[in-house]
Amino acid sequence: MSLEYTRNFCIIAHIDHGKSTLADKLLLETHTIAAREMNYNQVLDNMDIEQERGITIKLHAIMMKYQASDGNEYTYNMVDTPGHVDFTYEVSRSLAACEGAILVVDATQGVEAQTITNLYLAIDAGLDIIPVLNKVDLQSAMIDDVSNQVIELLGCKKEDILLASAKAGIGISELLEAIQTRIPAPKGDPNGTLRCLIFDSIFDSYRGSIVYMRVFDGTISVGDEILFMSNKTKYRVEEIGTLRLGRESRKTLTAGDVGYLIAGVKNVKDTRVGDTITSFRNPATEPISGFKESKPMVFAGLYPQNAEAYTELRDSLDKLSLNDSSLQFEPETSIALGFGFRCGFLGLLHMEIIQERLEREFNQSLVTTVPNVEYRVITETGETIEVDNPSSMPAPGSFDYVEEPYVKAQIITPSEYVGAIMKLATERRAIYKTTTYIDATRADIQYEFPLSEIIFDFYDKLKSVSRGYASLDYEFLEYRQSDLVKLDILLNGDPVDAFSTIVHRDKAFEWGKKLCTKLRELIPRHMFEVAIQAAIGAKIIARESVRAMRKDVTAKCYGGDISRKRKLLEKQKEGKKRMKQIGRIEVPQEAFLAILQIGD
Amino acid sequence: MEPSLQSGALILRNVSLYFHIPFCEKKCIYCDFYSIEDQSSQSRFVDAICAEVDLKIRAYPELYGANVETIFFGGGTPSLLTPEELGKIISQIKKYFVIADDYEFTLECNPGTVSFEKLLAYRALGVNRLSFGVQSFHEDELLWLSRIHTADEARLAVAYAREAGFDNVNIDLMFSLPNQTKEKLQYSIEQALSLGTEHISAYNLTVEEGTPLNRMVKLQQVHELSVDDASVLFEYAQTTLIGSGYFQYEISNYARSAELKCKHNLVYWDGYKEYVSFGPSAHEFFNGERSWNISSLDSYLDRVHSGKLPRNNSEHPNESERRTEVLFCGLRSTGVDRNQFLNNFGEELGLHSEIKPLIAEGLLKVDADVIKLTSKGYRFCDAIVIRLMTPELISL
């Protein structure tokens, strides 16, 4: 395959701006897939959860053959990118595998923060951008306004913007032609030292880790001995090939190609996104730049509902992590919840996905604790202790100060919501940086936020104050000193470690009060009174109580009531399974996430 | 009662019979039993229920000659039956069954539908227990409940029963009506006590699905009493009745003495005993199967007319479902028999890990034979059953 006739590209779009539909249309138009194979589902998103949430989580790639108007056949490799703020690093690695990007903007919505972030990543990676306005056939399309936003962003000409409607099939052939003419062919030396970039890997229970990669230099063949540069592990190539709807094996892949590799690697953790594969005998001196260890930002305890399911949960997490190298977990013990795992996630969405997969695919009943960020406790001696679980926070007075992670956040919003967003940001301890206007109606506001303030419900709040129009993106900035305290919750006098949170001192009283009130609503009445207290150290700052239940009985039960009554009891019993027994108190699972439901 | 089939030397199968009489002068807002106000097909119905007895014996020949310990006519309003109609049904019973010497035969009466003559005739037919749906002695409450009788008519009905020779009479009372105060309940209970009936059933008003009351609650025209307020009334009824010489043998049932408990209802709460039922919507438990008739008089008449059992559906509870049934039936009344439980489910309930804490909380009493609720325990019956619902098989 000649480099000259290859194009590697990806699609950058905000959720719901039509990326998947557009991708499907490209596949149809190039006969990569027949309409009858398309089914209802979009091809690129092939996990249930992705489809339900309308977002792409895992990366994939697909190859198309395109007969261009210059009479030549081109090989197009379309590399998919995940579309959520939790996965910025993964996006950057996918972009690195390409020479060009299609920027899809919904003509009815305009540019969103996430699109901009990814666009900047693409520009930083030196990609050529083809801007596409999608949904131009809709009544509500604002073609001129959105075109101006794009021109402002890219510094392109109006003529450079393609108008399309993926749904209606408008502009698809123009786009296919533009890919050939506007995206450069890959560069690289087929005879040079082998360097391949891993942009994704998945786990197959028969074949081990299946690596998705882009060959930058050299040629790789079945039987070659290869080296993963980040951890210096050696493997032998069992199979390589290109990616159609399924895998198509080849004897060799060469510079410029996108494809897959199977080398008997037993664990996706050994085939890390961003790592470079080189030749074992003739290794490259430098890896492809940009590799980072993926670092979890959000932590939570996952506990089995029933203690007996601990081993099962561990096996399930093991299996999930085979497929998800960014999921981290280690055993932990909670006095309230027993044996479980402290898990690290890229973000809150990542956490929700893992939770849902554990529940749906692995049938696990989970109790999840309130997610938190990782704090740094600096001791008197200057030593740093990393704390990823509030209950392991050292006692006040035993350390010098605490640091928490800050992020750089970008919010794009129609200008009429700027005021409301600024108010919300202030409540969340944000530090305002700048506002720039993308066009007459859209503002781009830059903030620095404590990460802990946005991992909970900030995104939902942002959406609600802006009627869904504002969008958010953020990236890690640095650790900064903060006045943080540990807030404990006591039930009938006993502290429940799983309820402990770390909050800013200024907010502690209010949070304590709200948390107690929320728990009073959530904890059912028992045959005895349940006292709920919030405390900082030994000081009680709030108190509520759940009054004792005085009666729980059905008045009448005769011959005709027995079946019904039995079913009712069975249902109530089933409901109890969603309760965690802490001492004599039954606490519903959602109570452990009560803090997330506390309104501002 | 006139002798029926002759009992031979065989050990007879014991059974209880329930007859559902689906007619009412007026439907009460809270009632979810099947009944209709149109009484025009009452005589056809009586023929049909007699035919159903024939059909049942044909379907279950093993019922033939069974020993009937209790008979219960419920409804609806069984006291709408004329003595002739009741007599017809009783002849059918006698045609196929042996009536035990110490049988109990209860008929539910609406105080607004009885006369001395009628009760006298019922008595002559073998009815030996009457259950009056009195509910309240306040006119406003009776009106709100859409009862068709006054408090005086209720008093009179009990007097007629006495006069007709009934020495086993129950009255139903209902409490926790919306806005009901303790004083109002106190009056009704005092009035009931003054009548000196052998048995009092005192029910907490339950808002059942599909009733007019349920609609009123949903539309917020009526506000249910809070659980706390209702439990105050429950406790009040409990202490007052017990203090007046009645003893509580079920959540809502009180008798003057152990012999005066309602034997028929005890069959339901026994959890193991069999009962066979007739009439639309009637439920039975026989040969390990629970089945129930269709809840429509028209379909019922059609089905029986075409020679088919008017059954709607049935289920065969599995062992774990049976265990639950035995638990909640037993606990809500006279207790769970430990030996019988062990024999049926291979489990010594007395060793269940929840038993000790429940005793310590004052909710349960356990002796060598029976596990039963305390009077406080009665108030928490459902919660207690749930705690005991997971079987604990202790391997010996």
Q: How confident is the model at residue A35 (pLDDT cuts 50, 70, 90)?
A: low
Residues in chain B within 8 Å Cβ distance of A558: 265, 268
Over the stretch A152-168, which tens digit does the pLDDT of each residue have? Answer: 888 899 999 999 998 89
Sign of CA dihedral B287, B289, B295, B298: negative
Q: Across the interface, do A562 and B204 touch by the CB < 8 Å criterion?
A: no
Please give, one letter per residue, the 3-state secondary structure of A423-443: HHHHHCCCEEEEEEECCCCEE
B342–chain A Cβ distance below 8 A for any pair: no
Position A203 confidence tier, pLDDT thresholds 50, 70, 90: confident
Question: Which residues in chain B are closer than 8 Å to A560, comparing Cβ atoms?
Answer: 33, 281-283, 292
Judgement on whether residues B259 and B365 belong to the same structural domain of the protein: no
Note whether residue B280 is domain-resident: no
pLDDT in tens, B88-136: 999 999 999 999 999 999 999 999 999 999 999 999 999 999 999 999 9
Query: The domain containing residue B240 runs over which residues?
Result: 14-269
Q: Are residues B352 and B209 in the same domain?
A: no
B127 CB-contact burial (10 Å; exposed 0-12 / middle 13-18 / buried 19+) = buried
Query: How confident is the model at residue A20, as a pLDDT?
Result: 80
In a domain, B104, yes or no: yes
Q: What is the pLDDT of residues B94-104, one digit of tens each?
A: 999 999 999 99
Do B244 and B326 lie in one domain? The reply is no
Summary count for chain B: helices (H), strands (E): 15, 15
Residue B301 is assigned to a structural domain of this protein: no
Which DSSP state fits A170? B
pLDDT digits (tens, 9 = 90+) for A334-348: 888 889 999 999 888
Asked which of A417-421, A499-503, A575-579, B197-201 is least confident by mean pLDDT, the reply is A575-579
Q: Note whether B135 and B219 are same-domain residues.
A: yes
Give domain status of residue B286, yes or no: no
Q: What is the pLDDT of residue A245?
A: 77
Q: Which DSSP category does A61 fall into? A: E
Task: Return d(Cα A448, Cα A463) in angstroms, integer.
Answer: 19
Amino acid at A139: Q
CA A546 vs. chain centroid, Å, equals: 38
pTM of the model: 0.68
Asked if the model's pLDDT at residue B10 lies above 60, the reply is no
Contact, A448 vs A406, CB < 8 A? Answer: yes
Number of A:B CB contacts under 8 A? 98
Please report which confidence band the pLDDT of residue A83 belongs to, taking 50, 70 and 90 as the band edges.
low
**Which of B203, B236, B269 represents a domain boundary (last residue)?**
B269
pLDDT of residue A155: 87
User: Tokens 């079920």 belong to which residue?
Assistant: B250
Nearest CB to B265: which of A558, A560, A566? Answer: A558
3-state helix, strand, coil in chain A (%, to 5): 30, 35, 35
Q: Using 50, 70 and 90 to split pLDDT, how confident is the model at B11?
A: low
Do B117 and B186 share a domain, yes or no?
yes
Task: From B269, B284, B306, give the residue that closes a domain.
Answer: B269
C-alpha distances out from residue B307 to A318, B48, B289, B300, Å:
64, 10, 22, 11
CATH number at residue B336: 1.10.10.920
pLDDT tier, A54 (very low <50, low <70, confident <90, very high otherwise): very low
How many angstroms separate the CA atoms of B309 and B53, rounded?
9
Q: Domain with B110 in it: what CATH number?
A: 3.20.20.70
Is pLDDT above 50 for A56?
no
Decide if pLDDT at B344 tops 80. yes
Pairwise CA distance, residues A90 & B341, whole Å: 61
């105050």: which residue's tokens? B232
pLDDT at B197 over 60: yes
Tell me whether residue B215 is in a domain: yes
Determine what percent of chain A is predicted with pLDDT higher than 90: 53
Helices and strands per DSSP (H, E), number in chain A: 14, 33
pLDDT at A41 over 60: no
pLDDT tens-digit profile of A371-408?
899 999 999 998 999 999 998 888 878 899 999 999 99
Domain boundary pick from B206, B234, B269 = B269
**Cα A378 → chain centroid:** 30
Which own/partner pairs from B221-226 qualify as long-range (CB within 8 Å, at least 24 positions apart)? B222/B178, B223/B178, B223/B179, B224/B176, B224/B178, B225/B176, B225/B177, B225/B178, B225/B179, B225/B180
d(CA B101, CA B81): 25
Joined together, the tokens standing for residue B299 give: 């379909």
Query: CB of A451 within 8 A of CB of A373?
Result: yes
B299 inside domain: no
| Structural domain total, chain B | 2
Q: Are A345 and A327 in contact (CB under 8 A)?
A: yes
**ipTM of the modeled complex:** 0.92
Query: Is B332 near chain A, with CB under 8 Å?
Result: yes
Give the distance from residue B275's alpha carbon to the nearest chain A alpha carbon, in angstroms.
8
Nearest to B332 among A550, A557, A570 (CB): A557
Say whether pLDDT at A299 is over 90.
yes
Do B213 and B77 lie in a common domain? Answer: yes
* B52 and B122 belong to one structural domain: yes
Predicted confidence at residue A475, as pLDDT, reads 82
Q: Which two tokens stand for residue A561?
A: 């009531």
Are B267 and B333 a contacting pair, CB within 8 Å?
no
Among A580, A431, A600, which Cα is nearest to A510's?
A: A600
What is the rounded CA–CA span in Å between residue A409 and residue B285? 68
Separation of alpha carbons B33 and A264, rounded Å: 69
| Residues B262 and B369 both lie in one domain | no
In a shared domain, residues B33 and B181: yes
User: Comparing A78-92, A212-226, A570-584, B57-71, which segment has the lowest mean pLDDT?
Assistant: A78-92
Does residue B145 surpass a pLDDT of 90? yes
- Residues of chain B in contact with residue A573, where contact means CB-CB under 8 angstroms, are 386, 389-390
Same domain, B137 and B252: yes
Q: Note whether B372 and B248 are same-domain residues.
A: no
Same domain assignment for residues B329 and B265: no
Whether B229 is covered by a domain: the verdict is yes
State what percent of residues in chain B have pLDDT above 70.
96
Q: State how far the Cα of A210 lies from the Cα of A479, in Å rounded to an integer.
A: 36
Residue B129 lies in a domain: yes
Give the pLDDT confidence score for residue B214 in this predicted structure. Answer: 95
Per-residue pLDDT of A493-505, as tens digits, reads 999 988 998 999 9
Kindly list the distances between the CA atom of residue B322 and the CA atoms of A424, A567, B17, B235, B270, in Å, as whole numbers in the listed order. Answer: 57, 11, 21, 30, 12
